[in-house]
A = this chain, B = another copy of it.
């Protein structure tokens, strides 16, 4: 059996967001056309990634490894982890993957996509948790990536984590979180970016799946990972929507 595996739960909504994006990018007009998929959502096994990276919190690597093992046991052949911060080399670099399973790297996939679609001259910015920003999770895969100033980076982190208005705690995006994240895109535009990576799975929720904001192109790594998981399992079922296909034909000559 060929099957997709998703390590979700980090956070729970991000896992089902990735599964949902796999389904929406699959050519299917009945249930049975869809690719087999397994999802683990075991947040109790996977401590907070930023806490581990910045504050000596518990290690999330063993839990990630356990979830990948569950998925392999079920028959998953290509696995994605729906968390940007978990891709820090200090975490993901230590995760062992069972034979027969390909673990896709969301950040590497995003880098390839951005360079294909926006070209080498693009000025690429990043919004993310403080863990992802400070541990240079994206820097490894991008020649240059523009980060927000410290104050803005902290505000975006709070928009994700705050107990009162953060996206993780609240069901749905609060007005305050929306305002903070939208302003942060404009802040990066002010620093010269024409493309902004929404490098935390909670951030695309702010823009309701839109691919640009106020003249800045937005990139959703979860969507790119979903497309990569289909490519690695049943590529003939990939139903890229016209907007992405158009961009893949060359951003300079949009159709």
Contact = CB atoms under 8 A, between A and B. Distances in A.
A46 B163 CA distance: 41
B9 A16 contact: no
Interface string A66-89: 000010011100000000000000
Determine chain A's interface SS by DSSP, over half rule.
Answer: mixed
Contact of A42 (B36, B42, B45, B46): B36
Given A31-B12, A31-B48, A38 B171 contact: no
A42 B163 contact: no
Contact of A31 (B36, B43, B75): B43
A171 B41 contact: no
Nearest to A170: B29
A3 B74 CA distance: 16
Contacts of A23: 12-13, 16
A123 interface: no
B40 A74 contact: yes
A10 interface: yes
A30 interface: yes
A174 interface: no
Contacts of A74: 40, 70, 73-74
A214 interface: no
A24 interface: yes
A3 to B, nearest CB: 7
A169 interface: yes
A30 B73 contact: no
B38 A12 contact: no
A20 B15 CA distance: 10
Nearest to A83: B31
Contacts of A46: 31
Interface of A: 3, 9-13, 15-16, 19-20, 23-24, 28-34, 36-48, 70, 73-75, 163, 168-169, 171
22 contacts: A9-B31, A10-B31, A11-B31, A15-B19, A16-B19, A16-B20, A24-B171, A29-B168, A30-B169, A31-B43, A31-B48, A32-B43, A32-B48, A33-B43, A34-B44, A36-B45, A38-B40, A38-B42, A38-B70, A40-B74, A70-B75, A73-B73
